[in-house]
């Protein structure tokens, strides 16, 4: 199960990467030797080392590096074109990846984890990861990486509401501004959240919870919110693009990335049919959780050399630009030109909030269990 869907039709497409991207990508690290004997310099500071192409696998497996999510398809293609290493299309959510890592702890099947940052911290606490600081580790904000080099953020997303503007107009509905607006029967009847066992589904639930005064120890507000919208037909959906296109749902709670990608990169819609909004609580409370995503090298995993090269590549400016092409905010966003299509920055400032990732990790299992057990919305499992 992918955490979302999307392709791109901006300047760099998932189906074709520009020559300039590929040519610059070779600057990732110095390399020596001819074909079949290249050695690349990877790593930051004391982690700098040489990796030999002779040790690269026929296919590299990294959790949640998958087509249809965060423009990984374009990243996978660019990396293979430059270094000759194809990546396995690892469909799945952060929670599913964590469970698989635990199940295969004695014999890892993947080289690295990629997904929700808090799930990476859980993997670290379970001693499933190992230390590695990729090149450009120093430009990642301190609160979005662990000092020991186990988990490093590569991009961020923010909880948002995406809705069919044409359907709202037909129903005589105003554009939503707060979470309270989504309780309207004509909105809630085909409103969908993503399941809470995913990183984005958990963020959606915690966004609503914060908007109504809750915290990590008090989930009553979001459960009460679910009760209010469930009676009108709202539910959980594992995938949203198909149902949105088919008209089964008109409103979905996901990341800003999902909505913007649907609005600008989906040929099934005219741009004015889809709108994306960042919501506050009914009294102006923050209601849009900022969620970091990142990666971690796995302990005793196969093909660590190729995994290090890939991790270094993801933090290059050229790869970071590929995230922006799908409206995912890269971790190096302040060094790049942000697309104009994002919602106004003032809405992010008014509604956005962050949660201490270490605290979230310590309570994450209980949060997800509570949400699954208590929510009246169908499709939580």
Q: To the nearest whole percent, how much of the chain has pLDDT over 90?
A: 81
> What's the N-to-C CA distance of the chain in angstroms?
12
The reported pLDDT for the residue numbered 245 is: 87
The reported pLDDT for the residue numbered 28 is: 56
Query: In this structure, what token pair is assigned to residue 284?
Result: 């102006």
Q: To which H or E segment does residue 36 belong?
A: none
If you search the block for the tokens 């400016």, which residue do you land on? 317
The reported pLDDT for the residue numbered 29 is: 54
Task: Give the ranges where 297-356 is alpha helix by DSSP (H).
Answer: 304-314, 317-325, 345-351
Does 3.40.50.1110 match the CATH number of domain 159-290+354-374? Answer: no
Global pTM value: 0.81
Domain boundaries, the chain: 40-156+291-335, 159-290+354-374
Do the beta carbons of residue 77 and residue 87 sit within 8 Å? no
User: Residues 126-151: pLDDT tens digits?
Assistant: 999 999 999 999 999 999 999 999 99
CATH number of 40-156+291-335: 3.40.190.10
Segments of the chain with pLDDT less than 50: 1-27, 31-35
* Region of residue 43 (phi > 0: left; psi between -120 and 50: alpha; otherwise: beta): left
User: Residues 222-235: pLDDT tens digits?
Assistant: 999 999 999 999 99
Beta bridge partners of residue 252, listed in sequence order: 162, 192
CA angle 213, 381, 198 (to 5 degrees): 60
The reported pLDDT for the residue numbered 240 is: 84
User: 182: helix, coil or strand?
Assistant: helix
CB within 8 Å of 90: residues ≥ 6 apart: 61, 62, 63, 64, 65, 66, 97, 110
Domains 40-156+291-335 and 159-290+354-374 share a fold: yes
CB within 8 Å of 142: residues ≥ 6 apart: none
- Tell me how crowded residue 243 is: count the other CB atoms within 10 A of its CB: 15
Q: To the nearest whole percent, how much of the chain has pLDDT over 70?
A: 90
DSSP state of 139: G
């Amino acid at each position: 199960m992918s955490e979302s869907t999307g392709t791109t039709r901006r300047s760099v497409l998932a189906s074709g990467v520009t020559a300039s991207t590929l040519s610059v990508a070779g600057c990732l690290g110095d390399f020596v030797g001819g074909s079949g004997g290249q050695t690349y310099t990877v790593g930051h500071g004391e982690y700098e080392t040489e990796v030999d192409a002779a040790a690269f696998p026929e296919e590299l497996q990294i959790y949640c590096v998958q087509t249809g999510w965060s423009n990984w398809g374009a990243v996978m293609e660019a990396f293979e074109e430059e270094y000759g290493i194809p990546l396995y299309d690892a469909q799945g959510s952060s929670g599913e990846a964590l469970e698989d890592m635990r199940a295969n702890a004695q014999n890892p099947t993947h080289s690295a984890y990629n997904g929700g940052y808090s799930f990476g911290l859980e993997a670290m606490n379970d001693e499933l990861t190992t230390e590695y600081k990729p090149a450009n580790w120093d430009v990642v904000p301190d609160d979005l990486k662990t000092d020991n080099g186990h988990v490093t953020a590569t991009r961020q997303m923010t909880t948002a509401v995406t809705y069919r503007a044409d359907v709202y107009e037909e129903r005589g509905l105003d554009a939503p501004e707060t979470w309270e607006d989504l309780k309207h029967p004509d909105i809630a009847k085909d409103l969908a959240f993503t399941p809470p066992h995913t990183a984005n589904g958990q963020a959606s639930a915690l966004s609503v919870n914060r908007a109504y005064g809750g915290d990590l120890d008090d989930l009553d507000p979001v459960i009460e919110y679910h009760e209010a919208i469930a009676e009108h037909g709202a539910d959980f959906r594992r995938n949203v693009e198909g149902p949105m296109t088919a008209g089964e749902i008109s409103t979905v709670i996901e990341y800003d990335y999902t909505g913007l990608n649907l609005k600008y990169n989906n040929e099934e819609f005219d741009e004015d049919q889809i709108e994306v909004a960042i919501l506050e609580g009914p009294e102006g409370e923050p209601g849009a959780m900022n969620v970091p995503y990142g990666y971690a090298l796995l302990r005793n995993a196969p093909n660590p050399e190729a995994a290090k090269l890939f991790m270094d590549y993801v933090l290059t400016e050229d790869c970071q630009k590929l995230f922006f092409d799908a409206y995912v905010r890269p971790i190096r966003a302040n060094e790049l030109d942000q697309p104009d299509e994002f919602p106004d920055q003032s809405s992010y400032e008014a509604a956005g909030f962050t949660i201490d990732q270490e605290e979230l990790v310590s309570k994450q299992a209980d949060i997800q269990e509570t949400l699954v057990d208590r929510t009246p919305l169908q499709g939580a499992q």
